[in-house]
């Protein structure tokens, strides 16, 4: 499946007003190409089999095959955004690898936030095919296309989880590798990093200050602290 922009998407919603509302929102984002708009999951499924897409905008509560069932049949599609009037479906939606879950009526500002996440995710996924990485000693080698880039581990400020990928942020540039954050942190070379959030791990020597909800780094970057990671962070501060 091609992941080069513009990224093809489809919209499926049995409510005409909601369907047209989502359509009007999506049209504002040129990185997306609308491949089809459907009033049922069955109609969408029939078309997608002939034209693979990268993004699904799905209502959930539809007659016949609902949006969750449709997603189950299209798990190979990289990004799925559920748009529904029923927030109780959120847990099940995220279990089906939803990128986001929007509750109707959707406001333009909330949709814009989702589009920023979507664009970042798709671009990372597209670029990741060009990246490989290998770890040795105090160095990580990242293959970007045909070029091998050598990065000293102590130059990495923090790591950011992007689903199946991890963004490696140095003092000068960002890279992407096809490792989950959890797997990367299992490597012995990364024992100088501490996980502060499900999405972030920071290099310990870059930490300048820790507050209740965030970590401030020497580079003037602040990152959120996840509730379940506060204890390990407090232990680090106590030791120091």
* pLDDT average per 10 residues of sequence, the chain (240 residues): 76 97 96 96 89 93 95 92 93 90 95 94 70 60 75 90 87 86 85 91 90 85 88 66
107 phi, psi to nearest 5 deg: -90, 150
- Which pLDDT does position 1 carry in this prediction? 46
Q: Selecting from 2.40.40.20, 3.30.460.10, 2.40.50.1020, 3.40.50.970, what CATH number does the domain 130-239 have?
A: 2.40.50.1020
Distance of CA 58 to the CA centre of its chain: 18
- Which pLDDT does position 130 carry in this prediction? 44
Determine if the pTM surpasses 0.75.
no
Domains 7-127 and 130-239 share a fold: no
- Which pLDDT does position 240 carry in this prediction? 52
Residue 133: enclosing H or E segment and its boundaries? strand 131-136
- Which pLDDT does position 159 carry in this prediction? 95
**Domain ranges, ordered by start, for the chain:** 7-127, 130-239
- Which pLDDT does position 137 carry in this prediction? 61
Which residue, 171, 220, 222, 223, is CA-closest to 197?
A: 223
- Which pLDDT does position 3 carry in this prediction? 58
Domain at 7-127: CATH architecture: 3-Layer(aba) Sandwich (3.40)
Query: 55 forms bridges with which residues in the sheet?
Result: 9, 79
Which pair of tokens denotes residue 120?
């970042």
């Amino acid at each position: 499946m091609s992941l080069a922009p513009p990224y093809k998407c489809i919209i499926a919603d049995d409510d005409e007003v909601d369907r047209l509302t989502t359509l009007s929102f999506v049209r504002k984002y040129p990185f997306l190409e609308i491949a089809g708009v459907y009033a049922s999951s069955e109609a969408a499924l029939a078309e997608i089999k002939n034209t693979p897409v990268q993004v699904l905008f799905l209502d959930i509560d539809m007659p016949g095959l609902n949006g969750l069932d449709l997603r189950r049949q299209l798990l190979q599609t990289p990004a799925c955004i559920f748009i529904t009037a029923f927030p109780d479906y959120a847990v099940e939606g995220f279990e089906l690898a939803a990128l986001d879950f929007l509750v109707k009526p959707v406001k333009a500002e909330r949709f814009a936030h989702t589009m920023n996440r979507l664009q970042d995710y798709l671009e990372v996924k597209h670029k990741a095919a060009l990246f490989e990485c290998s770890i040795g000693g105090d160095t990580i080698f990242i293959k970007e296309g045909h070029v091998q880039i050598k990065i000293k581990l102590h130059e990495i400020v923090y790591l950011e989880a992007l689903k199946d990928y991890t963004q490696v942020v140095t003092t000068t540039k960002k890279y992407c590798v096809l490792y989950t954050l959890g797997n990367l942190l299992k490597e012995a070379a990364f024992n100088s990093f501490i996980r502060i959030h499900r999405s972030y791990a920071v290099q310990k020597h870059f930490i300048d200050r820790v507050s209740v909800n965030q970590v401030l780094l020497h580079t003037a970057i602040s990152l959120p602290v996840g509730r379940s990671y506060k204890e390990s962070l407090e232990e680090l501060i106590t030791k120091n």
